[in-house]
Amino acid sequence: MSVATYTVTGMTCGHCVSSVTEEVSEVPGVTDVKIDLATGRVDVTTDGPVEDSLIHAAVEEAGYKVV
């Protein structure tokens, strides 16, 4: 198990958080997603190695950007 932290811009409400959580949770290997709306911090827990590009793509699919 490992945790990676990302910063996501553009989230302004609970719906934004839900969208990012849903998309990132669908990435194979992701077991948990915790988001702090105020800071844009996204902690992604995985059960093994997961490519950063897959997380970035999931965030972009939700309509936001990883910085």
Whichever domain contains 38, its CATH number is 3.30.70.100
Tell me the pLDDT tens digit for each residue of 13-57.
999 999 999 999 999 999 999 999 999 999 999 999 999 999 999
pLDDT of residue 3: 97
For residues 3 and 54, is the Cβ–Cβ distance under 8 A?
Answer: no
Torsion angle, CA of 43/24/30/18, rounded to 10 degrees?
A: 70
pLDDT of residue 60: 98
pLDDT of residue 4: 97
pTM of the model: 0.95
**Please, what is the end-to-end C-alpha distance for the chain in angstroms?**
24
Domain range spanning residue 13? 2-66
Tokens of 44: 């992604």
Domain count, the chain: 1
3: enclosing H helix or E strand = strand 2-9
pLDDT of residue 46: 98
